Structure 1
Amino acid sequence: MSVTPYSAQDGTKKDQVKTMFNRIAPRYDLLNHLLSFGIDRKWRKRVVKMVKGMKAPVILDVATGTGDLAIALSKSHPSAVYGVDISVGMLEKARQKVQKLGLQHTIILKEADSEALPFDRNTFDVVTVAFGVRNFGDLNAGLTEMGRVLKPGGKLIVLEFSRPANFPMKQLYNFYFKRILPLWGGLISKDKEAYTYLPASVMEFPEGEIFETELVNAGLHPEKSIRQTFGIATIYVALKPLQ
């Protein structure tokens, strides 16, 4: 995935993504819910349903951003939810929300790189990542790291944007992502390049069966992939082999 946020600037994709999210953090939540029409909340609830029923799981939420999924996962009665992100700006917004909700004893936030997670092997029952894998500098390294920290038999759940294939949603989606989202996102965030990069990263992301192959290459076993809302997003579920 070669697309980067700031084409005229030097630095790795990881460095540029970190800079981008620090810049847009103050208005990220507003834009995220506004530009997704709030549908992202429904998708997160479906991720949480996949965790409910597990007995006091220890959960890691990678690329946690402002903590929306980590906070939603706290309702699944976990032992703990760890949220990690490379952007200190996004983590500060997450900490404010966690404190306001009184969840600081359940949700532990850390600055960390998805490709070098500061946890021991076989630590977590569940690892989640929502709208983050397409921003990884090295997709295989990030997936492999998430697999490393999963317990054998543990579950990786990835929620990521995908591309509708059928008329008229395909055409509407492409128009919205290429015309509307960059315009309004740039105006509100004051960072036009960020909201040009975000849809471009979706268009480049290896979705569907190609992403399932990436999971296999990282040593994980794809269990199911569930398309959401006419194919706008997909929830991928993979397991770490027992041996």
Structure 2
Amino acid sequence: MENKKEDLIFEKNQLRNKFLPEYLFVDEFSQINIFKRMLFWVLKKIIQAFIWIVLNPRKDKVCELDEKEVERVYNREARFYDWKHHMTTRGQDLKWRRSAAQFVLNCFNNSQNSIVCLDLCTGTGLTAKEIDNIFHLNKVEGLAVNLIGLYYNEAMLSRARKKHSKFYSQAVQTKFVRGDATALTQKKEGFVTIDESSVDVVTNVFGIGGIKESINNLEEVLKVLKIGGLYYIYDMHKPIKELAGEICIFGFWFSMPYFEKRVYEEITMPLVLGRLWGWRDTTMLFYLINFVTYHDKQKDMYYGFKKIQFNFTAERWWASLPIMPVASIIIKKEELSKIEAQKRAEVLQDFL
């Protein structure tokens, strides 16, 4: 009995080591000289001044993302959301959303002529617009996308619907609905319900950081996806020292991992994302995804995610500073054995 318990602990630790890289837990910058600290302080003040003047983030306390705060933040920001989003990403978000759109197009296989795509946290419909655009440009025939843009805030959805009137792809049929990303399959007054095993593809571009119960969202996505269905996520990720970006100064290229880390922790998260959008650090989600499971009690089946692809890069912000670390992941719904599902659930519980 004791040996069996030890074997389970060993297997659980193996699973943890497989999906959770060391850089998530190690402080790689414990010894930094005074010159670098002073230089960062000066640059930080310049960047902070730029953000306060140009973007005008909220001055009140950044609270937990409860339902009332979500409504308050996005009712206020809906009118200028697109402009502020482009400003905070230096227009890079357009590239990321087009990447998601291309992903949806590539999801068609030889046996399919239609798919259901759920665009979570659709906001003002920016990703939906690019999906429509990519299908129009490729002039696909015989393919059809039933695109559902889901969001919590009605003010944002109202702007999305106005854009939808200008969409022109015959292959994409789009509707924008109010829904709760943490309760997709549950009946809630005023929100739509998504049927289990009804969706082929889910996209979420810069949205999961705004979800308070993000693990609940992942579980709900497992429910609504068909077997083999794919989930595409693009969001912020804390800097990785060994993958730091480079900046050119007078013809010489320099890597500044310490600068990237401090900007992320002291400016990007609390000021740009926290105060402007009420955002959370999404780094751990890219890895905890591997441990999320769902037990279909009616069929007595267990499901989880399989990682298909993961990418990380330090994108360039204004002044070409490589201080915008982002990551994308593609995961697939797959069937699990009961034992495997239990091991994953136990690892996940350690982090909740």
TM range, smaller chain:
0.7 to 0.9
Matching residue's letter, 1:240: K
Structure 2 CA distance for aligned equivalents of residues 116 and 241 of structure 1: 21
Q: 1:61 aligns with which of 92, 116, 119?
A: 119
Cα deviation per residue 1:136-182 (whole Å; 9 max; x = unaligned)?
12111111111111111000011111122224266257437845898
Q: What is the aligned partner in structure 2 of residue 24 from structure 1?
A: 77
Q: 1:98 aligns with which of 148, 161, 164?
A: 164
- Considering Cα pairs closer than 8 Å and 6+ residues apart, tell me whether 1 or 2 has the greater RCO: 1
Question: Residue 8 of structure 1: CA displacement?
Answer: 7.3
Residues 74 and 156, structure 2, Cα contact 8 Å, conserved in 1: yes
Pairing 1:43–2:85 present: no
Alignment partner of 1:163: what SS? coil
Matching residue's letter, 1:194: R
Alignment partner of 1:116: what SS? coil
Residues 124 and 156, structure 2, Cα contact 8 Å, conserved in 1: yes
Pairing 1:73–2:131 present: yes
7 and 51 in structure 1: CA distance in 2 versus 1, 3 angstrom threshold: same
Q: What is the aligned partner in structure 2 of residue 34 from structure 1?
A: 87
Relative to the length of structure 2, the TM-score reads 0.57
Structure 2 CA distance for aligned equivalents of residues 180 and 89 of structure 1: 26
Matching residue's letter, 1:85: Y
Structure 2 CA distance for aligned equivalents of residues 180 and 113 of structure 1: 26
In the TM superposition, what are the counterparts of 1:154-173 in structure 2 within 5 Å? 154-165=229-240, 166=244, 167-168=255-256, 171-172=259-260
213 and 33 in structure 1: CA distance in 2 versus 1, 3 angstrom threshold: same
Q: Pick which of 227-236 and 169-178 moved more.
A: 169-178
Q: What is the aligned partner in structure 1 of residue 263 from structure 2?
A: 175
**How high is the sequence identity, in percent, across the aligned residues?**
24
Larger CA Rg, structure 1 vs 2:
2
Question: Residue 91 of structure 1: CA displacement?
Answer: 0.6
Q: What is the aligned partner in structure 2 of residue 195 from structure 1?
A: 276
In the TM superposition, what are the counterparts of 1:89-128 in structure 2 within 5 Å? 89-102=155-168, 106-117=173-184, 118-128=193-203
Structure 2 CA distance for aligned equivalents of residues 26 and 136 of structure 1: 21
Pairing 1:206–2:206 present: no
Structure 2 CA distance for aligned equivalents of residues 90 and 8 of structure 1: 20
Alignment partner of 2:197: what SS? coil
Gaps of 5+ in 1: 186-191
Q: What is the aligned partner in structure 1 of residue 10 from structure 2?
A: none
Runs of 4+ in structure 1 off by over 3 angstroms are: 5-9, 102-105, 172-183, 228-231
Question: Residue 233 of structure 1: CA displacement?
Answer: 1.1
Structure 1 CA distance for aligned equivalents of residues 260 and 144 of structure 2: 39
Relative to the length of structure 1, the TM-score reads 0.79
